[in-house]
Amino acid sequence: MNNSHGGILKTFKYSVFSEIATSFVHEMKNPISAITLGMEFFDMSLAEGDPQKETLRSIYKSSEKLNVLLDNLLVYYQNGNSEKTPFKISQVARQAVSLVNYFTTRHQVKVEINEPPQEPWITSRASLVMQGLVYLMVWSAKRMPQGGKISIEILAEGQSVVLNFRDQGPVLDPGQRARIISPELPLGPNADDLGPQLARHLFMENGAEFDLKADQPEGLLFSVKFNNQ
C-alpha cells in the first residue's frame, strides 16, 4: 500500500511539474526570441573582423541552444492525447537526451545514440516516446552512482523501428524484473522500479512492443519496437 501511494504521489508531482514547466517555457521564449533577433541585428551592423562579432555570435549561439531546449521541453509536456504526427525515433531520442543532459553529466553518465543510415518515419505521439526515454535515462543514471554509460541503439526493420536501450548498472533481481514486466505488482523499496514501469506503459500506449532482457552480457537491455499506427 505504501509503495502504491508513493507511486501515485510521484505521478501527481510529474503532472503538476508539467503545468509549471509549460508556463515557464512560454514565459522564457519571449525574451529569448527578442535577444536572438537583437543579436542578429547587431551582428549585421558590424564590419567583418570586428572583435565584437565573436561575442555577439557566442551570445546568439547560447540563446539558440536554450531556445531548442525549451522547444524540446514543450514537446515533452505535450498532452499525450494530442494528434499523431510523423517523426523519427532518432530525433526524439536526441531531444530526450538534451533534456536530461545536465542531470546525466552531473552523475558522470555518458549517453550515446547510434542511428541507422536510413530510418523510417513513425506516425505516433512523439511526446509519449520522449517521456518514456527520459524516465529510463533518469532511472538508469541513478543506478550508476559511480558513473557509467547509457547506449541507445536505433535499428530499422522494414517500416518498423527498434530502439535498444542499455546501461551499465547492476543486474536486476527477479523481483525487479517481475515488477517492470507486470506493473500491477507492488513497487520495490522507494519505488525504484517506477521509471521503467512508466516508460513501459507510455511505449505500449503508443502502440509499441516492449521487451526486457535483463540477462544480456553487455548490460541491461530494454528493447522497444515501434510500428506505424
Distance of CA 124 to the CA centre of its chain: 16
Average pLDDT over residues 200-210: 86
Instruction: Delimit the domains of the chain by residue range.
Output: 2-76, 85-226
Give CATH superfamily name and number for 85-226.
Histidine kinase-like ATPase, C-terminal domain (3.30.565.10)
What is the tens place of the pLDDT at every residue in 108-121? Answer: 999 999 999 899 99
DSSP string, 9-52: HHHHHHHHHHHHHHHHHHHHHHHHHHHHHHHHHHHHHSPTT-HH
Residue 218 — very low, low, confident or very high, per pLDDT cuts 50/70/90? Answer: low
Q: What is the pTM of this model?
A: 0.72
Confidence (pLDDT) at 119: 92
What is the tens place of the pLDDT at every residue in 72-111? Answer: 776 676 655 567 888 999 999 998 898 888 888 888 999 9
Question: Buried b / exposed e across 99-138, counting CB within 10 Å, b at 16+?
Answer: bbeeebeebebebebebeeeebebebbbbbbbbbbbbbbb
CB burial of residue 18 (10 Å; 0-12, 13-18, 19+): middle
Average pLDDT over residues 166-187: 76
Low-confidence winner among 40-44, 219-223, 225-229 (lowest mean pLDDT): 40-44
Residue 183 — very low, low, confident or very high, per pLDDT cuts 50/70/90? Answer: low
Which fold would CATH assign to domain 2-76? Helix Hairpins (1.10.287)
Q: What are the Cα distances from residue 123, in Å, to 126, 166, 181, 203, 227?
A: 9, 25, 25, 13, 8
Rounded to an integer, what distance in angstroms lies between the CA atom of residue 113 and that of residue 152? Answer: 5
Phi, psi of 41, rounded to the nearest 5 degrees: -65, -50
Confidence (pLDDT) at 1: 46
The residue written with cell numbers 506503459 in the block is 201
Confidence (pLDDT) at 4: 55
